[in-house]
Amino acid sequence: MKTTIFSFSAFLFLALALSMSSCGSSADEKYMAFPADKIAQSMDSVKNFSIILYDMDVKDKKYYHKYKVIQQTAEIPAATSLDSTALADSTTSPADLGIVEKITDWKEVSPSDFDYHSSNMGMEIMSKKEGDLSKVAAPPGYSQYVGNSRYGQWKTNPSTGDSFWAFYGRYMFLNTMFNLMSPVRYGGYSSYYGGYYGRRPYYGSVNSSGKYSYGTGSAHAAKSNPSFAQRMNSNSALKSRVNNSISRSSARATGGKRSSVSSSSSKRSRSSSRYSSGSSSRSRSSSRGGK
């Protein structure tokens, strides 16, 4: 009798161990590392870079991203008095100034990562500024180029009194590289740095049609990559997934409308609690990388 009980107990222990092992293997198979994290890790020695969500797609129930990666490979010298009056220099390339741009191939992402960034088309989703890593979505260029006196200056429109950002002549290519809405006004930039930078995503102001200046569905996103806007109309799986993800984010949001200057007219929102808080070198939680 004792032998029978012992054998049965051993059988249960073995079955439980095999079950736990099977569950562990299943979890490992489902986990998918976020490609932008891998890109950031490959630039560990680079002090300044920006990773922008350049494209999204859905094919055969799989999810894909493309990224625009902009990195600073050389130290940028301090501006001089001549910079403020210099015209655009067509003979000097961005690479000559230590700024390199690359668009990646398609990278498969997990469903959760695809949903997480569904509102961020054309946005900077990861950046490093002087060695500090941030994973908070922002308009491209805002985190380290706009407002930086090495690259440009604030000017005042004499007719309206409004301040706007103007890159120095040799850095005017940054307007095109980041597809910045022209001009970047000081009011919006000040709002970003005062209430959002490193803490929660910022999508700019809302126009009369209820659309944000930046992010999925914005004029900036359409300008940044027209093929994505066209694909949203032709690929029903992509359109449905993106729209449903944004709707679910809106339903779960607890902090009101999606981050903007004038959020009262917003029709969509995104929970800022889903983003990491502050500039951080901490790695992305693996629990968000799986399905």
pLDDT value at residue 4? 52
Asked if the structure places residue 40 within a domain, the reply is: yes
Alpha-carbon gap, residue 224 to 178, rounded angstroms:
8
DSSP-H helix ranges across 55-154:
111-116
Q: Which value, to the nearest 10 degrees, does the dihedral of the CA atoms of residues 173, 174, 178, 183 take?
A: -100
**Number of domains composing the chain:** 1
Asked if the structure places residue 3 within a domain, the reply is: no
Phi, psi of 70 (to 5 degrees): -120, 120
Where in the sequence is the domain holding 156, given as residue range(s)? 27-288
Please state, in angstroms and as integers, the Cα–Cα distance from residue 37 to each residue in 52, 60, 106, following that order. 12, 24, 15
Asked if the structure places residue 66 within a domain, the reply is: yes
Q: Is 65 helix (H, G, I), strand (E, B) or coil?
A: strand
CB 121 within 8 A of CB 222: no
Asked if the structure places residue 162 within a domain, the reply is: yes
Asked if the structure places residue 134 within a domain, the reply is: yes
Asked if the structure places residue 200 within a domain, the reply is: yes
pLDDT value at residue 260? 47
Alpha-carbon gap, residue 79 to 149, rounded angstroms:
7
Asked if the structure places residue 7 within a domain, the reply is: no
Q: Is 0.85 surpassed by the pTM of this model?
A: no
Q: In degrees, to the nearest 5, what angle opens at C-alpha 76 toward C-alphas 75 and 78?
A: 125
Residue 263 tokens, joined: 């959020």
Q: Beta strand 163-167 with 62-72: parallel, antiparallel or unpaired?
A: unpaired
Asked if the structure places residue 254 within a domain, the reply is: yes
Q: What is the pLDDT along the chain (291 residues), one digit of tens a residue?
A: 555 555 555 555 555 555 554 444 344 447 899 999 999 999 999 999 999 999 999 999 999 999 999 999 888 877 765 566 666 666 678 888 889 999 999 999 999 999 999 999 999 999 999 999 999 999 999 999 999 999 999 999 999 999 999 999 889 999 999 998 778 999 999 999 999 999 999 999 988 888 999 999 999 999 999 999 999 999 999 999 999 998 887 654 434 345 544 433 333 333 333 333 344 443 333 333 444
